Structure 1
């Protein structure tokens, strides 16, 4: 094995995701130390070769790299802020879910304690960890990321987004809203088709093809947003609104919920009222960047 393969790593927090992280490091040949408040959650990992540290401080000291996966940022500070844990010289990679503001504050908190800090976000479910399908986002000093990239690569496809510690959380939030929006649109369509006896399994391939087609529009639409210019190359917003009206009417006639199509139309109506009826759909970014009244 190379020195990179033999690099030791610590994982703090052994929920479903934490256990998956530790197992991936073990499979990749890394000496892995773990710690969890409920020690019994480490039993399967110990059987696979992990070492259980008696304290959080011992866990951090055991490895040059410590991966943290806890319930929230308060738990991170609560566990690692005690007298038991000397963070001087440690490199912490915090994969705990939170906001960009929490990530930036955690970076300042770690710096005051002499630790290097990367914030991260896991864009995967536990069974995917250790495969290329698991996307792990990191933000913070590039040098710290590059120093540990070979080890972090055991978890999946790792990416450095930039020096701003808050970027991983922002990308995570952006990914979540994409996921839920696509799923909600599919569910609305499924509800409509079911009223005509079309089951979800039959409708799903069509919906998948449509979602992939819409995804292909994103690069061109992104250029319009960055230029702040929205020529109606395909369809004007005022035309899209008429289609939204049809969707609302169809949903009402079918006797299903109309909250989603009415929300879509209300957003478009505000943009049209602001003079954007002749622009293309991405002009709605003006509504998404406006705070809610």
Structure 2
């Protein structure tokens, strides 16, 4: 008999999680604040609970996937979770995750926090993975059930670490998308077809540039090299052309200006002969 599982929250992601559990043979109870959401789960064998309390009581493993941290508090506060393991896969900050862990410990639950690195159609496929943090023995106990959702990546006992890893990867993604969107705004401002430009030039260029990231990481771990092929002094001097061109083309440069300011700060702080990895230290001291 596979571990019975409860899924709280049947948005697109929660529905995908419940579907994966059902496909793997786990008895699955579902609950959503709006009754009747995702009726296709009924045909797959899901049991619907009338209340969050009934749903949590139905299974030793309770997976939460709601909109934001506030909805997690609303759904879980006041429930008797004694002996349950709660896995919170709601997007949150590290501080919110730690606070949830403290509240649920008071409610008698074991707690794992998670960060889903996938979109709903990827759940249950090899391309998806989920960060987990919290007590390692609790993670290992429930690993077989969690593996049906996505490749599990356990990152440490601090319950805030999964959220930190999640936010770090999302930050990298949005930065990449922001740069691509600015490039497409420039190209389309001259009535150049976006699809051809993307396939011929933008994707190959970004793919080639991504190969420099491991070198940045090595320099952060081991210290910067004496000189860089493209030092910050040169990059800072040339960067103004990016902003000027955007303005001349009628494109908002707001995605570009923060990097230009950071480059100028780095040069002023004496990092003119270093590479882009030097900017990380400046970001960490920005506050």
Query: Scaled by the length of structure 1, what TM-score is found?
Result: 0.92
Cα deviation, residue 196, structure 1: 3.8
Kept in 1: contact 2:228–2:273 (CA 8 A): no
**1:43-192 alignment, distance < 5 Å:** 43-82=39-78, 85-192=79-186
1:288 maps to: 283
The answer to whether 1:7 aligns with 2:6 is no
1:209 lines up with 2:239 in the alignment: no
Name the stretch that deviates more: 138-147 or 240-249: 240-249
Q: Aligned match of 2:12 in 4, 16, 40?
A: 16
- C-alpha offsets along residues 85-127 of structure 1, whole Å, 9 cap, x if unaligned? 3211100000111110010111111111211100011122112
Return the offset for 1:274: 0.9
TM-score by length of 2: 0.93
Q: 1:77/1:252 Cα in 2 relative to 1: closer, same or farther (>3 Å)?
A: closer
The count of corresponding residues between Structure 1 and Structure 2 is 286
Unpaired runs of at least 5, structure 2:
none
**Cα root mean square deviation, aligned:** 1.7
Aligned partners of 2:46, 2:229: CA distance in 1, in Å? 57
Work out the CA distance in 2 between the residues paired with 1:185 and 1:72.
27
Measure the CA separation in 1 of the matches of 2:124 and 2:207.
Answer: 26
| Counterpart among 207, 221, 227 of residue 226 in structure 1 | 221
Question: How far is 1:230 from its partner?
Answer: 4.5
> Would the aligned equivalents of 1:122 and 1:135 in 2 still touch at CA under 8 Å?
yes
In structure 1, the partner of 2:267 is 272
User: 5+ unaligned residues in a row in structure 1: which ranges?
Assistant: none
Distance 1:111 1:192, change over 3 A: same
Residues in 1 aligned to 2:35 and 2:150: alpha-carbon distance in whole angstroms: 26
